[in-house]
Amino acid sequence: MSGFVFSEKPIGIESGEGAYLYGEDGTEYLDFGASYAVATLGHDHPAVTEAVQTQAEKLTYVQASYPVDVRTELYEKLGTLAPGDVSNVWLCNSGTEANEAAMKFARSATGRSKIIATKRGFHGRTMGALAMTWKDKYKEPFEPLAGDVEFVSYGDGEELAEAVDEETAAVFLEPVQGEGGIHPAATEYLETAREATEEAGAALVFDEIQTGLGRTGLLWACEAAGVEPDILTSAKGIANGLPMGATLVADWIAEDPGNHGSTFSGGPVVCAAANATLETVVDEDIPGHAAAVGEYLKSEIETATEEHDLPVREVRGQGLMLGVQVKRGANRILKNLAISEGVLALPAGRSVVRLLPPLIVTEDHADEFVDAFTEVLR
């Protein structure tokens, strides 16, 4: 018997600490993928570990209709830290669930069905979220999916504005596209999305599953544009490795969200991990640190590219969410990085090496990555 779905890599991981993972044979790996931005504070962070252990000794689970202090605390934290007025919180177990909920909440609150999503966008793999995800390779085996989803070009404000009408329930946008190749949205584009949805009475949804909690150098990526959504979704690094997602909505959405729920919504142990993660992110100014180290890392990659004539076309992104577009296949580069240099990173399509390290990495870690990357590309 064996697992399936995932194609296992030839690297067995046994433990982790900080920015490093350790193989079963003791090999050390610099983790510049953080399992798709999950390890916000790195591996085995003491504050998160202590919070989990303490809560597990008291109560591991009780469903969300029974108030629990640790869950109530998380509601308050997320509501306070949310951009704008999206202070009503629903907790779940993953990013795709958070986006499924956002889709349902928007349709219920508006009484409409049309969803506008973007080309190259990625919102998850369950049937509703998958319908808003662009690439056919993810969707075709499972069609037909949820209907009434229209795709527009990411970054084209005129096309987006024309698509939003009186039948539109919501517009789903990533402030920085992740799976689509690390493409930040221009401020003007997000402003156009805000204006168009307000005029039509539709909900503007920002998918910050990958960008949120300091990843781009601000607590939320949308803050860079000063644009506030009606719904914001978060997950991945929110509990530093434990499974959690969150859907944050404005009052007018919360007034009529429809009938929705989840057995494991806001489990106490996971909430404890999330509280510790959020406290550390805020108290230690993790977003500011990510902005500084991210700028250093981007600059060092660009300098190495010029000095060594590396086959790199562009380095783009914000904070510690960077994409290095290469002239040759990204997957081969990633394999060589892992096997020969002990560095783990991620793809974003065939030609982009995606860097999503723990937000606690230092300039020394950045130097270590750049040296390894340069060696592989040379």
189-237 tens-digit pLDDT = 999 999 999 999 999 999 999 999 999 999 999 999 999 999 999 999 9
Exposure of 368 in the CB half-sphere (CA atoms within 13 A): 18
Q: Which amino acid is at 60?
A: T
Q: What is the structure's pLDDT at 4? A: 80
Q: Which helix (H) or strand (E) holds 357?
A: none
Binding residues for substrate, as ranges, are 125, 262
Q: Alpha helices, DSSP H only, in the chain?
A: 34-37, 46-56, 69-81, 95-110, 127-131, 136-139, 157-163, 187-200, 251-254, 268-283, 286-308, 330-336, 363-377
Binding residues, as ranges, are 95-96, 122, 125, 207-210, 262-263
Q: Which amino acid is at 226?
A: G
Position 1 pLDDT exceeds 70: no
Q: What is the pLDDT of residues 288-301, one digit of tens each?
A: 999 999 999 999 99
d(CA 215, CA 324): 16
pTM over 0.85: yes
Position 6 pLDDT exceeds 90: no
DSSP of 217-279, one letter per residue? Answer: SSSSGGGGTT---SEEEE-GGGGBTB--EEEEE-HHHHTS--S---TTTT-HHHHHHHHHHHH
Mean pLDDT of the chain: 96
Confidence of residue 3 (pLDDT cuts 50, 70, 90): confident
Name the CA radius of gyration of the chain, rounded: 20
316 DSSP β-pair partners:
323
Q: What is the pLDDT of residues 323-339, one digit of tens each?
A: 999 998 999 999 999 99
Q: What is the structure's pLDDT at 299? A: 98
Cβ atoms of residues 178 and 210 within 8 Å: yes
Position 165 pLDDT exceeds 60: yes
Position 10 pLDDT exceeds 90: no
Q: What is the pLDDT of residues 178-189, one digit of tens each?
A: 999 999 999 999
Residue range 158-171: average pLDDT?
Answer: 98
Burial class (CB in 10 A: 0-12, 13-18, 19+), 206: buried
Per the listing, tokens 């180290």 go with: 293
> What SS3 class is residue 90?
strand
Q: What is the structure's pLDDT at 328? A: 80
207 DSSP β-pair partners:
233
Position 175 pLDDT exceeds 60: yes
Q: Which residues of 147-179 are buried (b: 16+ CB within 10 A; e: fewer)?
A: eebebbebbebeebbebbeeebbbbbbbbbbbb
Position 274 pLDDT exceeds 70: yes
Structure tokens at 170: 């919501």
Per the listing, tokens 């946008």 go with: 173
- Strands 312-318 and 114-118 come out as unpaired
Q: What is the pLDDT of residues 70-104, one digit of tens each?
A: 999 999 999 999 999 999 999 999 999 999 999 99
Q: What is the structure's pLDDT at 64? A: 93
DSSP of 140-157, one letter per residue? Answer: GGG-S--S-EEEE-TT-H
d(CA 378, CA 376): 5
Which residue, 356, 45, 112, is CA-closest to 215?
A: 356
Which residue, 102, 134, 139, is CA-closest to 121?
A: 134
- Strands 168-173 and 203-207 come out as parallel
Cβ atoms of residues 146 and 131 within 8 Å: yes
Binding residues for pyridoxal 5'-phosphate, as ranges, are 95-96, 122, 207-210, 263
Position 5 pLDDT exceeds 90: no
